Amino acid sequence: MSRHETSPTTVQPASNHRPNACCFCWCCCCSCSWNEDRERAWRASRETKLETIPNCEACAKPTPEEVRGWAQSFDKLMKSPAGRNVFREFLRTEYSEENMLFWLACEELKNECNKHTIDEKARVIYEDYISILSPKEVSLDSRVREVINRKMQEPSSHTFDDAQLQTYTLMHRDSYPRFLNSAIYKSLLQSVSRSSSES
């Protein structure tokens, strides 16, 4: 039986929420039409969504020592505004810039003290990065999603801590090694080394 055929024992969802009964999870682990439609919509809106985001954090030009330091540890890279900018440009080439944007939004939320502003920012973060309908949805496991859904009833500046850590770990393990071998990082390293030797 193909995955698109329905067996007599398949339980059809009661609502229109899930158009295809072959998927019982919200992830992209199968190629049912629901996921294909979702991916088409995601790709169509991705370009326009990301264009509306301010380009980068304001920062000074990094020193050669600073740029070399980014290869020593992911923490050094993420603590440097210039490092985050370059890494974010790399993530954009891999279509995973939302990981950095989500991490930055969580950092901003942590510095917020006003209850009303925390509520507002938490809702925006949820809609932009956690909602399954968002083209910028970050990849999170079901446990973390459940925790967030509970915390969203009374948001705080630490509502997304678990999700932020999971995203940080994903960038560290998955994207960071490729970044160090990327043309973006290597050309910057050459550029700052050359300009320092000329001065």
- For the ranges 58-62, 130-134, 153-157, 175-179, the lowest mean pLDDT is seen at 58-62
The per-residue pLDDT for 22 is 40
The tens digit of pLDDT for each residue in 100-124 reads: 999 999 999 999 999 999 999 999 9
The per-residue pLDDT for 169 is 98
The per-residue pLDDT for 56 is 60
Q: Which two tokens stand for residue 178?
A: 């490729």
Q: What is the mean pLDDT of the segment spanning 128-142?
A: 95
- Residue 195, sorted as left (phi over 0), alpha (psi -120 to 50) or beta, turns out to be alpha
Consecutive H or E run containing 191: helix 183-198
The per-residue pLDDT for 199 is 60
At residue 21, the 3 state secondary structure works out as coil
Half-sphere exposure of 105 (CA within 13 A, CB side): 26
Q: What is the mean pLDDT of the segment spanning 42-62?
A: 53
Percentage with pLDDT > 70 across the chain? 69
The tens digit of pLDDT for each residue in 11-49 reads: 444 444 434 444 333 344 444 444 444 445 444 444 434
Q: Report long-range pairs for 72-80 (Cβ below 8 Å, ≥24 apart).
A: 74/171, 74/172, 74/176, 77/176, 77/179, 78/103, 78/168
Q: Which two tokens stand for residue 7?
A: 């067996």
Q: What is the mean pLDDT of the segment spanning 78-103?
A: 97
CB distance 77 to 138 below 8 Å: no
Please give the Cα distance from 42 to 64 (Å, whole number). Answer: 38
Length of the chain measured in residues: 199
In the chain, the domains with their CATH numbers are 63-196 (1.10.167.10)
Q: What is the mean pLDDT of the segment spanning 151-168?
A: 97
Please give the Cα distance from 97 to 26 (Å, whole number). Answer: 21
Q: Which residues contact 195 (CB under 8 A, 6 or more apart)?
A: none
At residue 177, the 3 state secondary structure works out as helix
- For the ranges 8-12, 147-151, 167-171, the lowest mean pLDDT is seen at 8-12
State the first-to-last Cα distance of the chain, in angstroms, to the nearest integer: 70
Give alpha helix (H) positions in 15-170. Answer: 33-51, 64-69, 74-79, 81-93, 97-110, 115-125, 142-151, 161-170
